[in-house]
Structure 1
Amino acid sequence: MRTFIAPRPAHFVRCLTAATALASLGLLTACGGGSKPAEDAADNGVASVATPSGAPSQTAVQVERPLIRPDTTEEEEWRLGQVYQDCQAQHGLAKYMLKNDDGSWKGYKGGNDELYKAALKACASKEPETLPDRVSKEDPNWKDKYRQWISCMQSHGIAAEPTWDSPGYYALAHARFPTASQEKWVKKCEADAYVAK
């Protein structure tokens, strides 16, 4: 049995190569501390900026990546993918990337894996994520929703199998890709499983 891992059938996801290799980039934030006592500020009649007390916080901020919802159009998915790949190109990866005939980015072709990893890290906040990906990080009941998505697709003849380590994707048993008439069920089933009613 040959099994293929397949994302939702959208242009963006088809043209990305291994761009989901790194985790999201966390930004550091600095939190300001206390201020002068009220009586000190009141005696000169001028509002002033308080000086921070203590060192900046080392707590990482979770960056919310662009979300590809079930109702996102293929054109918008493509645009989000191009923004992400443009960022990679701007971080020195351009000469290691393939282009489509229309000049848009196709993806990384290889040749400088260190630079590729650095570009992925620098652009992590621009990498689009699917609703199942986001839900798997935020909802403790994500596995039930993921099972529902897979079961729904299977009920419409799609040979989908779960990939528990990559919940935004599913495996295709025997390399049976969804037909054109079945593709609509991938997004419909995703919406049924993940979008609150």
Structure 2
Amino acid sequence: MNHFDFAVHRRLLGAAALVAGALLLTGCAGSGDSDDNGATRQDVASLRSDVPDAHASAQATPSDDDGRPQLRLDSSEEESNRYWHLYAMCLKEHGHKMLTARGPDSVDDSDHSATAKAATKACANKLPLQPPELDQATNPHYDDDYRAYVKCLNRKGLKVTALPDNSGWTYDGNTTMNAARQSQVDKSCTLEAFRGKTQ
């Protein structure tokens, strides 16, 4: 989803909080490779809240969870990217290793040093919370919504199969859809499937 690494569309994974991509998703989780035509291949995408995503037109608002910014389904990509950038810069300033070849906001998720752990702890209040609709703990309809989301992706031409636990999806073969179009399809299907379902 931009929470998908549609080249890693998204960033940061939870604990080590890597900014692997809004630098593209995320979902989401997994890395994408592009062919000569700009089509992107991603192995796994996820909507879970531990994987960053850039769904979102309204501004993120502070949450009750230690002041962390709360992203919304309709938050703009620019807004989401800004919060992930602030988080990544905080980690960097506190000594977490970065993967500068991938971009200024790419956190090295293989850094498990004491310094990295301290940085993650120091920056915890800057780690954006994903929209509650994308969290199984806060959305009682998550599994139904996720199945609708995967059906929508397939209906719109991104051929994927959901993982058994609805934590992500894998491609059904190679995709010819470029990264920009994948991001559009992902956002559209996320909004269609998850909007207005939480209680």
* Pair in the same fold by TM > 0.5: yes
Corresponding pairs, count: 151
Identify if the C-alpha distance between structure 1 residues 128 and 163 changes in structure 2 by more than 3 Å, giving closer, same or farther: farther
Greater fraction of residues in helix: 1
Which position in structure 2 is the counterpart of 1:128? Answer: 128
Which position in structure 2 is the counterpart of 1:54? Answer: none
Instruction: Work out whether residues 146 and 166 of structure 2, in 8 Å CA contact, stay in contact via their aligned partners in 1.
Output: no
Which position in structure 2 is the counterpart of 1:33? Answer: none
- Give TM-score, length-normalised by structure 2: 0.57
Q: For 2:128 and 2:141, how far apart are their aligned partners in 1?
A: 22
Which position in structure 1 is the counterpart of 2:137? Answer: 137
Q: For 1:105 and 1:178, how far apart are their aligned partners in 2?
A: 26
Which amino acid counterpart does residue 15 of structure 2 have in structure 1? A
Instruction: Work out whether residues 91 and 119 of structure 1, in 8 Å CA contact, stay in contact via their aligned partners in 2.
Output: yes
Runs of 5+ in structure 2 lacking a partner? 18-48, 50-63
Q: For 1:195 and 1:68, how far apart are their aligned partners in 2?
A: 13
Which amino acid counterpart does residue 69 of structure 2 have in structure 1? P
Which position in structure 1 is the counterpart of 2:92? Answer: 89
**SS of corresponding position for 1:130:** coil
How do 1:108-187 and structure 2 match up within 5 A? Answer: 108=108, 110-131=110-131, 134-163=134-163, 167=167, 169-176=168-175, 178-179=177-178, 180-187=180-187
What are the superposed Cα offsets for residues 65-113 of structure 1, whole Å, 9 maximum, x if unpaired?
Answer: 43443433222222111111122123222xx213369x83222274553
Q: For 1:132 and 1:176, how far apart are their aligned partners in 2?
A: 29
- Give TM-score, length-normalised by structure 1: 0.58
Determine what percentage of the aligned residue pairs are the same residue: 28
Identify if the C-alpha distance between structure 1 residues 10 and 122 changes in structure 2 by more than 3 Å, giving closer, same or farther: farther
Runs of 5+ in structure 1 lacking a partner? 25-60
Query: Which of these two proteins has the greater Rg computed from alpha carbons?
Result: 1
Which amino acid counterpart does residue 73 of structure 1 have in structure 2? S
How do 1:16-165 and structure 2 match up within 5 A? Answer: 16=11, 19-21=13-15, 62-63=65-66, 65-93=68-96, 96-99=97-100, 104-108=104-108, 110-131=110-131, 134-163=134-163
Shift of 1:155: 1.0
Q: For 2:3 and 2:113, how far apart are their aligned partners in 1?
A: 23
Instruction: Work out whether residues 148 and 193 of structure 1, in 8 Å CA contact, stay in contact via their aligned partners in 2.
Output: yes
Which position in structure 2 is the counterpart of 1:29? Answer: none
